[in-house]
Structure 1
Amino acid sequence: MVNQVDFSAVTNPEANSSMRISVTVPGTATQKAYQDALKDLSKRAKVPGFTAGPNKRVPDQILVNYYGAQLIKTSALELITDSAVKKAIEDAGVRAIGQAELVQDPESLVATLTPGEPLHLDVKVDIWPEVKYNGPYTGFMVTAEAPAFDKERYDATMDRLRERACTTAAAPADYAAGKGDAVIVDMYPFEVLDDGSRGDALPQLAGGEEVEIVLDEEKFMPGLMEGLLGITAGQTREIAVNFPERLGGAAAVLSGKRAVFDVTCREVRTRALPALDDDFANAIRPGLTMAELREEVLSALNQEGDKKKNESRNAALEAALLERITCEIPETLMTERARQKFAIMMADMKAQGTHSDEELRGMITPENFNKYKDIARGSTTKQLQVSLALSDIAEKEGLQVNPLEVDDQMELLRAEAKGEPFDEAAARERVEATLEKEMVLQWIAERSTINYTEVAPEPSA
């Protein structure tokens, strides 16, 4: 084995948590690597006119003549580089990340490699970064935001619950449908051509028979509710609409189209929302009182508020922690994290239906990824620095994630997957990292001063 030879190596730290390794390979090692490369090649060589067997090797000179010295020396150089770099990294006591890269031109090295003669190698390898602190990682004084009680969301939640318990009644024959009423209609869409004439029928994704429509402008495309106001049972109307520019899923084929619906009203029904009392609460869940329902709704909204409050607190603590650390990020970690973020961005675009599959495939190129990595370099660097610091603090303080919490989260992921396969090892790693981050930030928060500023809730869209 080549790695049994003593190599003379000098290691020098370089920027971005990398190391340059200068290795002097003795002649005995270059000779042995060359012989090992020949031996390996002889096991799989297929030279015309020569039959190899279990105890019969292809002679070295025949291999050199047939395959060429450059191929054999290239294999020898790979053996030398792997062994020399591995030994140098072990001697330096550092944790390497990714693959070492030759600083010199590989073809030039192959050309200068002479079996039995010394060889000088320069390689560069990323190493696991060290977090350095210029102050304590506790005792911060930060300001965070705490959302005020959102009465609008509370009222909207109650309204949605009342909608579910809504009762309807058939309206009189000549009753004109008004806002808040429901109509049962048969509706068939047709495309409107550029000249304003009627084109072919459109897919029945937005139409059909006995479709129930509640006359509420927030629930249907613009124009439809307005066209149905005042309609009576038995009446037929032609209603022009414009489909939204971007629709997801199967409805994407209708995106941005002008259309006209032929609508026949079968029935108009009036709707009555229940009063906010114990009968209403009991209809939602037997035995539930109105007071208990209000408490449950408030508790759910408070949980959302607490989540936003913690997110604001954590962001403030992360920013404060960044001021007290220095940590160079190796390019290997930068590329790995940027690749994860790029994949998430592509998945979000697909889920939102903003781009077709063909468009997304065209966007996933090395050039686009490198552009994204450069644009996101600043934010990615900060994210990695925070993650490394929090992991370092966890190790220093002996903080460990509860394995049962990890198992619980994994069970939730399996349930969400609904039997579809996914990379459980990678998912577990992400879960552990997330729980560790939350745990350490909570630990820091308990040893810091957090001043909360109440902020008004965001207006509803």
Structure 2
Amino acid sequence: MKVTQEKLPASQIGLEIEVTPETTKQTYEQVVKNLSRTVNIPGFRKGKVPRAILLQRLGSARIKATALEEIIQDGINQAIKQEDIPAIGQPQLRSSFDDLVSGYEPGQPLTFSAAVDVQPEIKVNKYTGLEIKAEEIKVDPERVDKTLDDERQQMATLIPVQGRPAQLGDVAVVDFKGVIPKAEGEEGEDEPISGGEATDFQVELQEDRFIPGFVTGMIGMNPEETREISAQFPDPYANPDLAGKAARFTVTLKEIKEKELPELNDDFAKEVSEYETLAELRSSLEQQYQKEAEDRTKSNKQEAFLKELLNHIEADLPETIIDKEIDAMLMQTAMRLQQQGLDVRKLFTQDVIPRLRDNSREEAIERVKRSLSLREIGKLESIKVSEAEIEARVQELKAEYADQDVDEDRLRSMVENDLLTDKIFDWLFANSTVELVAEGSLAPKEEPEVTENTENTEGEENPEATEPQ
């Protein structure tokens, strides 16, 4: 079989395949033979249909098309094997199938064109001597104390309070009913808020526990007192029909309780953790938060480096790889939504999926380029992971997840990929300059709004202009 190769865009190899006369005839005859055994034609038993009757009933074009499908599929497979082409994905027929059917004559040579995707060639023009800035994440020195205080709040005992009004930090038991007041001069009744009514509702008197104004309006109330409180729904809000609207609540305070917090000592540490002393619990939290900060800083460095690498990469990606990455991204999204309790089948409809794929394409291309560039750098610098390193990490993870059923082959593959990625990044960091800067300093700055009238006289304020955020 004669095969001519041609390099095409998007990492494709074009193939012009010439099939021998013997193959075109043999395949045609075998198709006729197979059809005569399987086709039901009234008046004839299977396998006993005369050739002329079979050709008359089925038609020459149908038989030729069936034979051509086999010739093309077998021809492409043989060409890929013969030319030792590292093909990926499904081959594509470039010739018109209808034209091939029209021109196909069993016993005559047949030439057709096809294309196959291959792994792209990645060219990383520069990957050393780069100058990168990344945000350094530092541990909040108050985070441990805040965590311990949150735990104490969770374990607090509620004690009824007598003889004083409600104050911040209390827990109040109330009845309330909310409405959206009618506009001034508007006729009709106030609009009841759907779900805005409750009896014996327990609310902690902290501003972030309810919509703005509700808790503030309750401060100073005494038991059995009823008060009308004005509040404001934030914008945005979970219920878009209420977003940004003013509300009025009629609130009756029925009971006040205050929190009695457990003492912060070793007994508390034993109650909320596996540690015997408060000092051990504190030390564990400090180590945990330090590790989280270091991991986030490392992730920031990697992200900054990958972003810079994209400026130095040349890659003509085949559709097969892009489509595969889009599939993976949509699968991850579906699994995440499913874990949140959402019905994925209602979200991922046949009408929505094409739009989701289009929206994911740009990110998929970027992700593929990042991954391939790292692997290319690893090859160029002969960066490898030893079997001993992989085995040690696998055993470590198996011990950590001893109570779970783990696919060891998949685990080993993931471990090898993670270890190799870390080694490549370590090499890149060692051969470039990474400047760590304060958290938030690299966030894009919002541009101030510009209005039509931006000209001011000196010293005058422009009420239309918005301050930069």
TM-score normalised by the shorter chain: which range applies?
0.7 to 0.9
Q: Of 77, 80, 104, which aligns to 2:95?
A: 104
CA contact (8 A) 2:37 2:48 kept: yes
Query: 1:197 maps to which residue?
Result: 189
Note the residue ranges of structure 2 that are not aligned, 5 or more in a row.
Answer: 442-469
Counterpart of 1:218 in structure 2 is: 208
2:256 pairs, out of 264, 268, 273, with 268
CA contact (8 A) 1:186 1:264 kept: yes
The CA distance in 2 between the partners of 1:388 and 1:447, in whole Å, is 13
Give distance in 1, aligned partners of 2:38 and 2:382.
48
- With structure 2 as the length reference, what TM-score do the two structures score? 0.75
CA deviation profile, 1:8-64 (whole Å, cap 9, x unmatched): 112223222211111111111111222232233334322233331xxx343333232
User: 2:285: which partner in 1?
Assistant: 297
Q: 1:365 to 1:192 in 2, by over 3 A?
A: farther
Q: Which string of whole-angstrom CA distances, capped at 9 and with x for unpartnered residues, describes residues 275-298 of structure 1?
A: 655454354347633322221221
Number of equivalences: 433
The alpha-carbon distance between structure 1 residues 410 and 255, as it changes in their structure 2 partners (threshold 3 A), is farther
Distance 1:286 1:141 in 2: 45
**Cα displacement (A) at 1:247:** 7.1
Aligned position for 1:4: none
Answer yes or no: is the 8 Å Cα contact 2:383–2:424 preserved in 1: no
Across the aligned residues of Structure 1 and Structure 2, the Cα RMSD in angstroms comes to: 4.4
Deviates more, 1:283-292 or 1:60-69: 283-292
More off after superposition, 161-170 vs 84-93: 161-170
User: Counterparts of 2:419 and 2:316 in 1: how far apart (Å)?
Assistant: 24
Q: Deviations over 1:73-117 (max 9, x none)?
A: 121111111111111111222221111111111111111111111
What is aligned with 1:340? 328
Does 2:174 align with 1:180?
no
* Contact 1:391–1:436 under 8 Å retained in 2: no
1:221 aligns to what SS in structure 2? coil
Matching of residue 371 in structure 1 with residue 350 in structure 2: no
TM-score, normalisation: structure 1: 0.76
Counterpart amino acid of 1:45?
A: V
Matching residue within 283, 295, 307 for 1:307? 295
* Aligned-pair CA distance for 1:68: 2.0
Choose which of 58, 78, 81 in structure 2 pairs with 1:87. Answer: 78
Compare 60-69 and 343-352 and name the one that shifted more. 343-352
1:439 to 409, 412, 419: 419
Shift of 1:120: 0.7
Aligned-pair CA distance for 1:169: 2.0
For residues 143 and 80 of structure 2, what CA distance do their matches in structure 1 show?
A: 58
User: Are 1:24 and 2:25 counterparts?
Assistant: no
Is residue 115 of structure 1 aligned with residue 109 of structure 2? no
Matched, 1:72 2:63: yes
> Of the candidates 108, 116, 124, which is equivalent to residue 115 of structure 2?
124
Q: 2:319 aligns with which of 307, 331, 344?
A: 331
**Aligned residues: percent identity?**
24
The answer as to whether partners of 2:136 and 2:439 remain within 8 angstroms in 1 is no
> For the residues of structure 2 that align with 1:112 and 1:97, how far apart are their CA atoms?
30
Residue type at the aligned position of 2:366? S
User: Of 370, 373, 377, which aligns to 1:383?
Assistant: 370
Mapped contact 1:178–1:230 kept (Cα < 8 A): yes
Say whether residues 1:62 and 2:53 are aligned partners: yes
2 CA distance for matches of 1:414 and 1:63? 64
Q: CA–CA distance in 2 between the matches of 1:354 and 1:212? A: 29
Structure 1 stretches lacking a partner, 5+ long: 1-6
- After TM superposition, give the deviation of residue 445 of structure 1 in Å: 4.3
CA gap of 1:331–1:225, structure 2 versus 1, over 3 A, is same
Structure 2: which amino acid aligns with 1:87?
A: Q
Give the conservation status (yes or no) of the 8 Å contact 1:281–1:290. yes
Listed one character per residue, the Cα deviations across residues 405-446 of structure 1 (whole Å, up to 9, x for unaligned) are: 39948996997xxx9xxxx98x985x6665344311322344
- The equivalent residue for 2:394 is 405
Distance of aligned partners of 1:322 and 1:358 in 2 relative to their CA distance in 1, 3 Å threshold: closer
